[in-house]
Amino acid sequence: MKHINDDNIDEIMFQLLEGDITGLERENLLKAIHSDEKYLALWNTWQQTILQNEEITFDISNLKRKTTIILPLYIKYAAAAVVILGLIILLNRDSIKQDDMVLLPPKIKTFSNPLPKIKKDTIYNNHFVRDTFVPLKEKVKYMADRSSSIEKSIIESHDTLQNFIAQFDDVDSIVLVKNSPDEITPEKAFEEEIFVSISTDNNLSKKTKDNTNFLARLIGKSSIKIEPDHNTRTKRKIIFENKKYQIIAGF
Amino acid sequence: MTEKEYNTSVDLHAKSLFRFIFKNLNVREDAENIVQDSFESLWLNKDKVEFSKSKSWLFTTGYRKMIDSIRKNKKIVEMPEFIKEKGNSSAQPDLKSIVNSALEKLPEIQKTVIMLRDYEGYDYAEIGKITNLNESQVKVYIFRARQTLKNYLVNLENII
């Protein structure tokens, strides 16, 4: 047990201050200090040697870090190319759907109202061979020779024919094909051996030819142009457009 | 240490590191540069330094840079800001100002260890790691520092 005196007072007070003396010994020493005015004043002074916390202004914002990813220049060009290609595809998506139809074997349509049956012996052999590659509406056209037109009254009196015609867009003409002109009369026009020719604006051979240059068609159908722009705050505008859409960006 | 942990270290330790350096050097610009360099160094070594040890790492690095700066500049001493502010005042200085002015009179190493002890709450071993001293040396320096402060305060009371 330590006893405080003038020789060891600094050492003991330092140890008390630093927490090096604890427990009962600490209590006894503090009692001894408080019982002596001189020691108490000295103890108070020792306690004042503990530095008091103080706030100092310091801007820490410039010490913070944020990782930045620097993209090589070619990635920026690649990203721009992807955006432009995306725009072109968006502007021509209807065309792309049509092209897909030509490139793939045509799906067989099922009609709610069945067409008049076609007898095999009434079809030219060369047409029959190509039949599997030709859409249904084209098939009908191939088989017809457009020898005569159907009268309007006959069409109106026959529901199956009306429904059949209604499935085609842009019908130019409707032609009655007779197996034998002498045997078939307009009154018997829709018996099994008669074929109907529907002329549309679809041209299979032309479409197949155009399809060989797919990208050229895509770009060709839309236009990209730059024009001066005096009506807004931008000096020029770039215009992407086709039949359906027009996208304008000022710069 | 991740980027997020590094930024947390900035939030937690930048101000205390600056206070430690600034109160040692008394030159704000130098203190700012040292703190900047210390955090720059931490960022470069963030893959090696664990987040839990970042404070100790920062104070060790900051202390060494501060010693280098003192040696390089041969310790250009300026009046501390708080003394400048009080300089023209006829009012009695408060206890904090008196202790601060007494702190300025301490040798460099004593000032360093007592600030690490009181401001940052480091124990003797941790202070020893930062200052490259053993625990006994740290304890002796802290004792001498407090004794000097105590004597300064006693003498001041006698004068007043």
pLDDT digits (tens, 9 = 90+) for B21-39: 988 888 888 899 999 999 9
What is the rounded CA–CA span in Å between residue B14 and residue A56?
11
**Is residue B73 one of the residues assigned to a domain?**
yes
What is the rounded CA–CA span in Å between residue B22 and residue B28?
6
Report the pLDDT value the prediction gives residue B70, as an integer from 0 to 100.
Answer: 84
Test B114 with A51 for CB contact under 8 angstroms.
yes
Residue burial A112-138, b: 16+ Cβ < 10 Å; e: rest: eeeebebeeeeeeeeeeeeeeebbbbb
Domain boundary among B29, B54, B78: B78
User: At B18, which CATH number?
Assistant: 1.10.1740
Contact predicate A47/B154, CB 8 Å = no
Which residues lie closer than 8 Å to A96 by C-beta, 6 or more apart? A89, A218
Contact predicate B99/B72, CB 8 Å = no
Our CA-based measurement puts residue B92 at a distance from the nearest CA of chain A, in whole angstroms, of 17
Tell me how many domains chain B contains: 2
Both B34 and B66 in a single domain? yes
User: At B159, which CATH number?
Assistant: 1.10.10.10
**Is residue B84 one of the residues assigned to a domain?**
no
For chain B, state the CA radius of gyration.
Answer: 17
Test B10 with A64 for CB contact under 8 angstroms.
yes
Beta bridge partners of A195: A177
Both B3 and B67 in a single domain? yes
User: Residue A189 pLDDT more than 70?
Assistant: no
Mean pLDDT of all residues in A176-199: 46
**Is residue B83 one of the residues assigned to a domain?**
no
Which of A49, A56, A66 has its CB closest to that of B150? A49
User: Residue B62 pLDDT more than 90?
Assistant: yes
Angle at CA of residue B58, ends B54 and B59, nearest 5°:
120
Q: Chain B residue with minimal CA distance to A9? A: B147
Domain boundary among B14, B49, B78: B78
Report the pLDDT value the prediction gives residue B100, as an integer from 0 to 100.
Answer: 83
CB-based contact, A64 to chain B, within 8 Å: yes
Domain that holds residue B19: 1-78
Our CA-based measurement puts residue B17 at a distance from the nearest CA of chain A, in whole angstroms, of 10
Both B94 and B56 in a single domain? no
What's the complex ipTM?
Answer: 0.79
- Rounded to the nearest 10 degrees, how much is the dihedral formed by the CA atoms of B50, B56, B61, B62? 130
What are residue B85's phi and psi, to 5 degrees? -60, -40
Both B98 and B31 in a single domain? no
Highest mean pLDDT among A42-46, A202-206, B89-93: A42-46
What is the rounded CA–CA span in Å between residue B151 and residue B110?
15
User: Residue B84 pLDDT more than 50?
Assistant: no
User: Residue A120 pLDDT more than 60?
Assistant: no
Test B150 with A46 for CB contact under 8 angstroms.
yes
Domain boundary among B78, B111, B128: B78
Both B58 and B112 in a single domain? no
Both B67 and B117 in a single domain? no
Both B116 and B63 in a single domain? no
| Residue A24 or residue B75, greater confidence | A24
Both B109 and B158 in a single domain? yes
